[in-house]
C-alpha cells in the first residue's frame, strides 16, 4: 500500500468554496496570521491543482492554508496495489 501526497503553492486568483478570495487585500494584511480554510474538499483541491483524483483513491483529504505571502494546498489519498 502506498500513500501519495501532493502539496504546492497555489495562486489565490479564484474564489474559495465560502465565496471569499482567501485573503482580501493581501498588502493590507501583511501582519495577519495564517489560517486554515474550513470546508475544503478533495474534489475542490484537485480542481485547483489541475489534478484528477483517481477513482480508486481511498481516504482522500484536503486542506488549504492562507498566509500573507502565499497560499498552500494539500491533497492526500491512498492508492492500493501501486507498483504491483
Give this prediction's pTM.
0.59
- Grid coordinates given for 37: 480554510
User: Rounded to whole angstroms, how far apart are CA atoms 32 and 10?
Assistant: 18
| pLDDT one digit per residue (tens) for the chain, 84 residues | 455 555 544 544 455 666 665 555 544 454 456 788 999 999 999 999 999 999 999 999 999 998 877 889 999 999 887 555
Evaluated on CA atoms 45, 48, 49, 54, the torsion sign reads positive
Residue boundaries of the structural domains of the chain: 2-79
User: Rounded to whole angstroms, how far apart are CA atoms 51 and 45?
Assistant: 9
DSSP 8-state code for residue 26: T
Amino acid at each position: 500500500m502506498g500513500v501519495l501526497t501532493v502539496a504546492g503553492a497555489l495562486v489565490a486568483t479564484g474564489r474559495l468554496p465560502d465565496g471569499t478570495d482567501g485573503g482580501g487585500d493581501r498588502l493590507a494584511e501583511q501582519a495577519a496570521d495564517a489560517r486554515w480554510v474550513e470546508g475544503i474538499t478533495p474534489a475542490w483541491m484537485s480542481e485547483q491543482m489541475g489534478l484528477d483524483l483517481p477513482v480508486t483513491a481511498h481516504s482522500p483529504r484536503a486542506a488549504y492554508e492562507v498566509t500573507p505571502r502565499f497560499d498552500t494546498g494539500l491533497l492526500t489519498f491512498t492508492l492500493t496495489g501501486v507498483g504491483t
